Chains A and B, each alone.
Chain A
């Protein structure tokens, strides 16, 4: 038993030696699960606990069971309008644009074959593994006051003076969309691959033209992937903090960024904790509503 059975996984001794596979499995998964419980689950629970703390003299934590932090956030119209509503708006708009741009790319990549496909696919997915800081840096070069974009539009005569893109909302949008495209392409590629070419041939044989095939066959069949992409991306965008932190301004206080600022710049941990709980709740609520609507209007047809 012991090490032998750990590796083997199959019954390796007679049945009358009563064996306990449960024990072996426990031994194998114990270290990983323990680490995850200790450094994922406990910290998350701890955040929830801390969100009920009081704060004295600005930021000192005082253990308690009060709703002060929640009330402070939810009763303040400034937070509701300039943080919550802004986050909802920005994440919905950026997700929508991302999906619109990613869809044709995914379709194009899925159509390619052989080496071309391989290269295109690697190119599209590569930004997922290139660090955020590196990607942001390139955009700073392009978007800043004296940067490429402004130089271009001034040279073309569209404007006289540089317009403010960096450290403002446009840069936040551009980067959210930019970072989101590979995610959505990736989820869509799986779906495109699963469409049997014979389905399209059958549609063409039935007399459907290009648009008709797209609207009646391709789009419905890729809807589940699109949907998955939307769900993931919305959740990512809604809680985004790194992008508004790096390229945003005081006017781009997305809710994730507010969590970060409260915790790391203002040191108000209970308040940050409460806001992050609220953030998860809102995000979950929107995703549930979205899923219900999708189910109601589109997906039931596909049996998803």
Chain B
């Protein structure tokens, strides 16, 4: 009897603690979104709903430029990383060779090195070989950062791919190339989408690598926001940040639906 009361008490405390912590996790995000729609901005009490901050934010050239740069970087690094990662995943899943385990660790290595050092190393090295300060510099940094994720996700989706689908295509008269394009790639589509999206969103939100590699002409959105809020602190920045959050949430929901967030993320933490 007393035992069950105690149990209930413990359970209730655990629930309360967890919800308090979940609140702690989401309060800052909620506050930002709230401010971005509040017509009195930071001032309380709230004065009503407005889209004014968004209008103002997206009429500012530095943010538009930031979005452009970040989109280019996100799309570019997602495409490049997947193009490089796919043959590696194919080799890891379908071939046995010496040094396979080593290769696996090697392609994950960007996750093992602190971003501070990757940023510094790329900055120093690319400047040294005369590649400093352009779009390519940023793109290289972002590709390095997202390659491990692409390899992880593509390897996972290749390893659950049923090889008999390819055999059936071959039996139906398809050449290897035909079976690859008509069967293998379409069946792996969701894996590719998940991989592309996660690469994109990591690049889209990156701060640590970008701040080392950005130049005044090529400034990704997060760096643009950072330099803005250093000097000017207004509801307009809340609107920009909220826009970024909305895109991230959209991506998270899509990734979660098609591939499972925990599966993708924890595989990388498994290292």
Contacts and interface: CB of A to CB of B under 8 A. Distances in A.
B113 A133 contact: no
Contacts of A279: 114, 116-117
Interface stretch (A69-77, A78-86, A181-189): A181-189
B120 interface: yes
Contact of A25 (B27, B97, B119, B265): B97
A270 to B, nearest CB: 9
B114 A280 contact: yes
A210 interface: yes
Contact of B28 (A12, A126, A141, A240): A141
Interface stretch (B14-22, B48-56, B57-65, B187-195): B14-22
Interface centre among B125, B184, B233 (most CB of A within 10 A): B125
B122 A43 contact: yes
Nearest to A141: B31
B3 interface: yes
Interface in A31-70: 31-33, 35-36, 39-40, 42-44, 46-47, 50
Nearest to B94: A9
B225 A127 contact: no
Q: For this complex, into which size category does the number of interface residues on chain A fall?
A: 35 or more
Which residue of A40, A236, A256 has the most chain B CB atoms within 10 A of its CB atom?
A40
A4 B202 CA distance: 34
B120 A276 contact: yes
A151 interface: yes
Interface stretch (A116-124, A157-165, A288-296): A116-124
B97 A129 contact: no
Interface in B71-115: 83-85, 87-88, 90-91, 94-95, 97-98, 103, 106-107, 109-110, 113-115
The interface size bin for chain B is 35 or more
Contact of A28 (B90, B237, B270): B90
Given A130-B249, A259-B120, A32 B107 contact: yes
B177 interface: yes
Contacts of B159: none
Contacts of A28: 87-88, 90-91, 95
B176 A8 contact: yes
B176 A132 contact: no
Contacts, number: 272
Given A3-B176, A135-B28, A228 B269 contact: yes
B251 A129 contact: yes
Interface string A14-31: 000000011011011101
B182 interface: no
Contacts of A269: 124
Given A43-B121, A140-B233, A125 B97 contact: no
Interface in A229-275: 229, 232, 235-236, 239-242, 245-246, 256, 259-260, 263-264, 269, 272-273
Interface of A: 3-4, 6-10, 12, 21-22, 24-25, 27-29, 31-33, 35-36, 39-40, 42-44, 46-47, 50, 101, 104-105, 107-109, 120-135, 137-142, 144, 146, 148, 151, 178, 181-183, 186-187, 189-190, 209-211, 228-229, 232, 235-236, 239-242, 245-246, 256, 259-260, 263-264, 269, 272-273, 276, 279-280, 283
* Nearest 10 pairs of A and B residues by beta carbon: A138-B28, A131-B205, A9-B94, A43-B125, A239-B114, A43-B121, A28-B87, A32-B84, A108-B18, A256-B116
